Structure 1
Amino acid sequence: MYLISLLQISFLFLCTANGASSEDKNDKTATVDCSTLRLGQFICPDPNIDQINPDTQQFYGCTKGKDIPSEGEAEVQCLAAEGITCNETRNSTFRRKLPCKWTNGYSLEIALLLSVFLGMFGLDRFYLGYPGIGLAKLCTLGFMFLGQLLDIILIAAQVVGPSDGSAYVIPYYGAGVSVIRSDNETYLLPQADWHNIT
């Protein structure tokens, strides 16, 4: 009996709370500068055919990175969470810079095919912009085929890339590799409050 009464009261409370919250959602909208929104307050939808450049397989307008050329940025269309209106557009859409991989036209498939079939003549290295190594492979028959085998592995793993520092052209949802580098933000530095343990 008490259980049934408790369930009825909680059901009544939930119905009242849901009704109040739906009314509050309709009444409350905030107008903000959408460039200051944090993760979870906006979504940049999966790129559609209008946002991806078919030649580079990256966002249109992907620019070359300053420190690392392959790590660039591009402005894409994003959508603010429900109840948020952007100052810039007076609706819930806005443009935001997202990371992209700057490419200069070097295809991973072409580099890999050249390495497998013509790597003994150094054509893979000539294609990627390394004429010195390509000439050495040409004169030594791919370092007696060992250099060819090594280059097949290095190009397939995307360790060896184009000489200009750009990324390979790979389908947007393809098997791209992201290199994680260690810097002062990712490396644990000793803090002043740590005690010396001897």
Structure 2
Amino acid sequence: MSLASFRRNLWSFLLLFSFLAALYRTLVAAEEADSCDNLRLGQYLCREPKIDDTTQEPENCRDAAARVECLPAPNVTCRLSNGTEFRFSGEEVGFYQTVPCRNVSGYSYKVAVALSLFLGWLGADRFYLGYPALGVLKFCTVGFCGIGTLLDFVLVATQTVGPSDGSDYIVDYYGARLSRLPVTRDTYRKPHLSL
């Protein structure tokens, strides 16, 4: 092997090595900038949802979920949904996050409780909630002689009985809302320690 062919092979090897090194740096840099959806807590701030005055739910509530804007912190670099890498200043929207909301259709909790308390013996609460047969039954029996009216008031006040269309009551967004915690087979039950 001559010196000229050795230099040519060395030159080809160095050129190939620098190309592979540049490719490796590009791939590592692309992996370092993770998706904006995968930022850690503290690297972003999500805005509060805009609340609709009539429904008392987030304005874009669809199928029990609403989207809110999330702003990555200043000097955070991440990939947007379209794949471009971006360095944020703290003012730009990086991604959207879903928050739970309730599907309402116009039945007010305050009105239902007031009707149940003052005109429940006439069945007005049941007519309002969309149960006309039960409303007629309560009207004809004068509220089941008081006991049924009291029981019905408790059911409406605890939100056990809701609108007939399956929607939720309109309750103030920052008001006293009841949320049920379901008990399933995965629920941990603390064993009772007997003395």
TM-score for the superposition, normalised by structure 2: 0.67
AA partner of residue 187 (structure 1): T
Residue 53 of structure 1 deviates from its aligned partner by 1.0
Give 1:151's aligned amino acid: D
Q: Secondary structure at the match of 2:101?
A: strand
Q: 2:44 aligns with which of 28, 37, 42?
A: 42
Decide whether the 8 Å contact of 1:76 with 1:97 is kept in 2: yes
Q: Distance in 2 between matches of 1:136 and 1:126?
A: 11
Alignment partner of 1:60 is 2:64: no
Who is 1:141 aligned against?
142
Q: 2:35 aligns with which of 8, 33, 38?
A: 33
In structure 2, the residue matched to 1:121 is 122
Cα drift, residue 82 of structure 1: 4.4
- Greater CA radius of gyration, 1 or 2? 2
Which whole-Å deviations, capped at 9, do the CAs of 1:152-182 have from their partners, x for residues lacking one?
2221111111112211111110001111113
| Greater CA drift, 111-120 or 79-88 | 79-88
1:81, 1:159 → 2: CA distance? Answer: 43
Distance (whole Å) between structure 1 residues aligned to residue 146 and residue 172 of structure 2: 30
2:66 aligns to what?
74
**C-alpha spacing 1:38/1:144, structure 2 compared with 1 (3 Å):** farther
Equivalent runs, 1:157-176 vs 2, <5 Å: 157-176=158-177
Task: Please give the alpha-carbon distance, in whole angstroms, between the structure 2 residues aligned to 1:88 and 1:126.
Answer: 49
**CA distance 1:85–1:122, shift in 2 (3 Å):** farther
Q: Partners of 1:36 and 1:44 in 2: how far apart?
A: 14
Aligned length: 149
Question: What is the match of residue 109 of structure 2?
Answer: 108
Change (3 A) 1:46 1:99: same
Partner of 1:11: none
Distance 2:115 2:168 in 1: 17
Rounded Cα–Cα distance in structure 2 between residues aligned with 1:54 and 1:119: 28
Secondary structure, aligned partner of 1:59: coil
Quote how far apart the aligned CAs of 1:145 are. 1.6
Q: 1:78, 1:96 within 8 Å by CA — same for their partners in 2? A: yes
After TM superposition, give the deviation of residue 132 of structure 1 in Å.
Answer: 1.9
What is the alpha-carbon root mean square deviation over aligned residues?
2.4
Q: Which amino acid aligns with 2:127?
A: F
Give the 3 Å change call, closer, same or farther, for CA 79–135 of structure 1 in structure 2.
same
Of stretches 136-145 and 155-164 in structure 1, the one that deviates more from structure 2 is: 155-164
The answer (yes or no) to whether the contact 1:59–1:76 under 8 Å persists in 2 is no
Q: CA deviation at 1:31?
A: 4.5
Deviation at 1:126, TM superposition (A): 1.1
